[in-house]
Structure 1
């Protein structure tokens, strides 16, 4: 892989390899990033990844498979794994490593060799709109232990792990897909709170670290992390001693290219220290041509170093053993044991489940979640439409991050006035006001939905 193409990782539309993308792989494109709409089945995905490697045997094939709310392999059904927040609450490092090994083995079987996981951010604010249950927890030490375990498990299956989003996306109340968040804290706070999970992942041998499109004015007042030599070179390469591949978060995000455009963002990212440029979900031939032309103006030594690091990673992964591993799954009792249930909560025999549907963040997408993903019959409430509660039934209101949505708080209050026995469940990261999280599950994957149903039925407590 040589030239500007050797640092580009585009997404594409469809479930088969487009001709334009095949031609660019023939010419040395670094690889591709797959998303839920690219996948219909394991067999289809194996054919797609084989086709990609037919055009470039060293192509990196990347995916966001976090093993919880963020899933691409199971985008149509919901994930069968517990996400990071549940694993952190269970706090069994062997289990975390085992789950990651199962994820890695599943990815290896379908031809994926680079996973943009784990999310090692410390979720230090419950108002975070994009991290939440993707985090192992709010305590740096806990997050560090489980980050290292997840890296070990995934990479034992021959799939490269990615610690993200450096130097930490946990202390934000904005989504960098939509804006440029600012984390205005001293470097000492970063070292104490945000950096320990990244340091633990580096010590565990993580192959890749992903940047964040976040401005840290007390570290670099001029450039977000993705474009900051002080953060990528000074903190990540220098202080943490990371010598692997630095990949940008998607450059089509507003926090990266919203004011400058993709071409300028690509050049700035390479110049700052990124090696591999994740471009987004829906790129095309014209856009890649523009990016390659722009990258010709990036510093030649930096571009050559980036290409060499990407090439070395691809060569290592092409030789990596991929042992088959079939896990036994996680017992529902262990998931239920990680729930936070307020004292005095009662579940009635005659009940109706009402899913509180909000606009999902871009990272999570539209995967089925909660009891509906687990096959239960539910009613649906939105900001615009609320179902009638059947007479005599206990309403079980089930949402995600309920405290962040005014209409959910108002709706829950109104339902309680009409039905004093109503129960409110939060399958996201709960806020401090537990009126809107009498039961907090810390995850909404299909497995978490199955566990919630078992808890409601009394078969797992």
Structure 2
């Protein structure tokens, strides 16, 4: 096999990124030479308004036939399709799991898929099939449908079905499961302390459901599962990818890596070497990361060619990966379309609300939002009740004092907005100080409602998207239309 043919096979596995809202010349040239596709990132300014994004993806198709155009659009708190500027109009998985209506989940994901298809995105890195079994998980949280494997499984299958009914390939992630971790794989290699028996009862249940639903792709996580991977991250482990996902679970579709620029994959070895090891382990498509552009493509292709030359990789493994990419593109070429239906999103956000206590009359209340540190996956996405609050202040729980806030709220209602308060002691301390004086205040939790104060009315939204915030604002009477129908009791 010639070096030119091998280089084309190596390119077929790559999903690099690029800077700006238009395709650069180098990228179009790489697509003409067989590049597998691209990954769009909001932080690279790759996601302009709808018409411009459609023009961008059309240019990519003109250069590369049916390139795989991917994005991280989970709805919910991880959003890229416009939601990174205004917050997503779709509630995320935690809200859908709280409602527990699989047909509604299917409708939401079908609508989200339709919006992706409209702008030319054909592989969505969603749904998250993780079972969020660790409350202190810094990276999953509201991205999971819940902590019960059976619930997560049925909603993962519904999400896969809905996405693919819109003509977009779904990608279940983060195999073999990121939900039991307490470390961010952007920053290290999280530990999943589970033997195969526990994995089968917990982490693998949703992935089996996704495979049964004919999911077109599965994304690996950079996770250390010692019982399976022996200390390696799953993305680089043949035992995890070929042994567990391919052979034991019987998945025959495309296996995609999480971004290889993450420390969990390449921190100690670099991206080209991580790419070689991932391919050798059985991955078919390699997401390089938001900062990995032309130079990374060239360096990775060179590393793959060198690995074939010295016997670390075989040409047959590259051909196998390329064939799975071709099969995915063939499915995409014949996919059907659907119509967006945001009424499903609004319905889901409203039905997800859970309330306890007595809701006071709130007339132009002071809304106090307690800032919560984000993570790299979520990014700086807007959140909160700001669009509906007539008087809002956002404070850092570690620095703010209760006294000035109580003075400002004197004689009127008080709404305290938290986000994953169970993970942030400063949020809890300030909330309790406010409630000690104002037990009539309403607490709105826009993350997971793991921690609840001893006093005050409590409203849980199970997410911080625009849809979640709108539903909460309706319930609190902050919108022009007044209160929404009563939520379910917590």
Q: Distance in 1 between matches of 2:231 and 2:364?
A: 58
Q: Where does residue 109 of structure 2 map in the other structure?
A: 100
| Structure 2 counterpart SS, 1:416 | helix
1:144-202: CA deviations, max 9, x gaps?
11111111111011100000000100001111111211011111111001111100000
Q: Where does residue 401 of structure 1 map in the other structure?
A: 420
With over 3 angstroms needed to count, the CA separation of the structure-2 counterparts of 1:218 and 1:35, relative to structure 1, is same
| Structure 1 counterpart SS, 2:368 | strand
Cα displacement (A) at 1:208: 0.2
Q: Where does residue 319 of structure 2 map in the other structure?
A: 304
The answer to whether 1:371 aligns with 2:375 is no
Q: Where does residue 70 of structure 1 map in the other structure?
A: 78
| Structure 1 counterpart SS, 2:109 | helix
| Structure 2 counterpart SS, 1:378 | strand
Q: Where does residue 454 of structure 1 map in the other structure?
A: 474
Moved more, 167-176 or 410-419: 410-419
Do the aligned residues in 1 keep the contact of 2:261 with 2:288 (CA within 8 Å)? yes
Do the aligned residues in 2 keep the contact of 1:162 with 1:209 (CA within 8 Å)? yes
Cα displacement (A) at 1:334: 5.1
Q: Distance in 1 between matches of 2:125 and 2:445?
A: 26
Q: Where does residue 34 of structure 2 map in the other structure?
A: 28
Q: Where does residue 480 of structure 2 map in the other structure?
A: none
Superposed, 1:26-425 pairs within 5 Å as: 26-36=32-42, 37-73=45-81, 74-296=83-305, 297-298=307-308, 299-300=313-314, 301-322=316-337, 324-327=338-341, 329-330=343-344, 332=346, 335-344=349-358, 346=360, 348-372=362-386, 378-383=392-397, 386=400, 388-389=404-405, 390=408, 391-425=410-444
Q: Distance in 1 between matches of 2:390 and 2:107?
A: 28
RMSD after superposition: 2.0
Q: Distance in 1 between matches of 2:270 and 2:360?
A: 53
Q: Distance in 1 between matches of 2:205 and 2:354?
A: 26
1:354-384: CA deviations, max 9, x gaps?
2222232111111212323567653111256
| Structure 2 counterpart SS, 1:219 | helix
1:293-345: CA deviations, max 9, x gaps?
111115122122111211221122123222x4132513756534422323345
| Structure 2 counterpart SS, 1:125 | coil
Do the aligned residues in 1 keep the contact of 2:90 with 2:342 (CA within 8 Å)? no
Give the TM-score of the pair, scaled to structure 2.
0.89
1:42-73: CA deviations, max 9, x gaps?
01100110111111112110011112111111
Which among 440, 444, 449 is matched to residue 430 of structure 1?
Answer: 449
Q: Where does residue 17 of structure 1 map in the other structure?
A: 23
Do the aligned residues in 2 keep the contact of 1:451 with 1:460 (CA within 8 Å)? no
| Structure 2 counterpart SS, 1:3 | helix
Cα displacement (A) at 1:222: 2.9
Moved more, 288-297 or 420-429: 420-429
Cα displacement (A) at 1:108: 0.7
| Structure 2 counterpart SS, 1:62 | strand
Moved more, 436-445 or 424-433: 436-445
Cα displacement (A) at 1:434: 4.5
Moved more, 232-241 or 430-439: 430-439
Cα displacement (A) at 1:125: 1.6
Do the aligned residues in 1 keep the contact of 2:471 with 2:484 (CA within 8 Å)? no
Q: Which has the larger radius of gyration?
A: 2
Q: Tell me, which stretches of 5 or more residues in structure 1 are unaligned?
A: none
Aligned residues between the structures:
460
With over 3 angstroms needed to count, the CA separation of the structure-2 counterparts of 1:259 and 1:378, relative to structure 1, is same
